[in-house]
Amino acid sequence: MAIATINPATGETLKTFEPLNDAEIAAKLDLALQAFEEYRQTSFSKRSHALQKAADILEQEKAEFAKVMTLEMGKPFKAAIAEVEKCAAVCRYYAENAPSFLADVAVKTDASHSFVRYQPLGAILAVMPWNFPFWQVFRFAAPALMAGNVGLLKHASNVPQCALAIEDIIQRAGFPKGTFQTLLIGAAKVADLMADERVKAATLTGSEPAGASLAAAAGKQIKKTVLELGGSDPFIVLASADLETAVVTATTARMLNNGQSCIAAKRFIVAEAIADKFEKLLLEKFEALKIGDPMQLDTDLGPLATPGILQDLNQQVQAAIDSGGKVLTGGHPLSDRSGNFYPPTIIKDIPHDSSIAKEEFFGPVALLFRVPNIDAAIKLANDTPFGLGASAWTTNEQERDRLVEEIEAGAVFINGMVKSDPRLPFGGTKRSGYGRELSIQGIHEFVNVKTVWVK
């Protein structure tokens, strides 16, 4: 795959980049190693100051960064602005909290003095996706840099200008040279990087096959990985739910990032008693969405990121129809314009046990299922290889407790949309990956947890 900026709203190639050759990659790895030896000795105060400066740059230049995001991968400009603001927030969160998260922890034992110390590992490789091209990187970089590690970013090949902009932000913020470097390379180079002794660990956000490939390469070298992979998140609406609020949130949760989010609601599981009304209201909301130029502030839904994603999504929709599904709206690419546009789509009556009902649809397609009760809702919610997030709607306390306890997911949101928050750990279970980002758990993923015993 070429490393290039191709506007998904028009199909126009705006800029191409030459991948790094082996000598250039080696030079960057050497620089990372040298930078780490110096940077690991810096104080939390210096790291915090630089990270706060990065947040300042993000906030001051958010419109410029948002424009680059929208041009490269098509998210609505207003959503891109919000993404940059969230990146600034995660920088400030770790700048303020990392010193306490990484402070020595005293433990009473038979020693005169025993404690746990957290120390950095070295160069961490981040293999990041295009769908949140700034946020995914900063939610890795902020804790990694505060812990004293250095970062190597292998970003998706369709967002090279985002990748270079992030490196520039971190350099301008005052982090030492080589502390964070972007590697403009293809996916084929990742296994070689994992085999290099200068790379100590890796994190990947992306597809299931990409995660499996990285984990296999890291496993051969006995190097730690954190994986945040796909999701087929359920959105459960039970009879006691606040239906109007649930429908509004359901629309937002499915259309997030033009439907291209691992934690977007994808399978809408609705109690039979309210299913007709929910279906009618959801259809109205979907058909009222404005599709168009993502640079316009009144656009609700922009293009999918690449022609391949558009094709894959349409094939899944056709497979859902072939399995018995009925399309209520949408169901085919928009042919009246250039670009990778797919309309808001609702499909109902897909057999619960069909293979297509368990897949992840990475685009603005909602699968609508009816269930008789909470038992069936939980069973269907869990009947997927994935376990990233789940949203469930009820005003019944006993139902709430069951949903929290029994849904197999890394996060369960009751009466709210699944979202990431710097204050809460983020990650999945089953084939949605392992490890956690954000919060205290996220900063502890890439440190040596050292036991110290003194007598």
228 as an active site residue: the answer is yes
Catalytic residue among 262, 359, 399, 437: 262
HEC-encoded secondary structure of the chain: CCEEEECCCCCCEEEEECCCCHHHHHHHHHHHHHHHHHHCCCCHHHHHHHHHHHHHHHHHCHHHHHHHHHHHHCCCHHHHHHHHHHHHHHHHHHHHHHHHHCCCEECCCCCCEEEEEEEECCEEEEECCCCCCCHHHHHHHHHHHHCCCEEEEECCCCCHHHHHHHHHHHHHCCCCCCCEEECCCCHHHHHHHHHCCCEEEEEEECCHHHHHHHHHHHHHHCCEEEEECCCCEEEEECCCCCHHHHHHHHHHHHHHHHHCCCCCEEEEEEEHHHHHHHHHHHHHHHHCCCECCCCCCCCCECCCCCHHHHHHHHHHHHHHHHCCCEEEECCCCCCCCCCCCCCCEEEECCCCCCHHHHCCCCCCEEEEEEECCHHHHHHHHHCCCEECEEEEECCCHHHHHHHHHHCCCCEEEECCCCCCCCCCCECCEECCEECCECHHHHHCCCEEEEEEEEC
Catalytic residue among 72, 83, 167, 228: 228
Catalytic residues: 228, 262
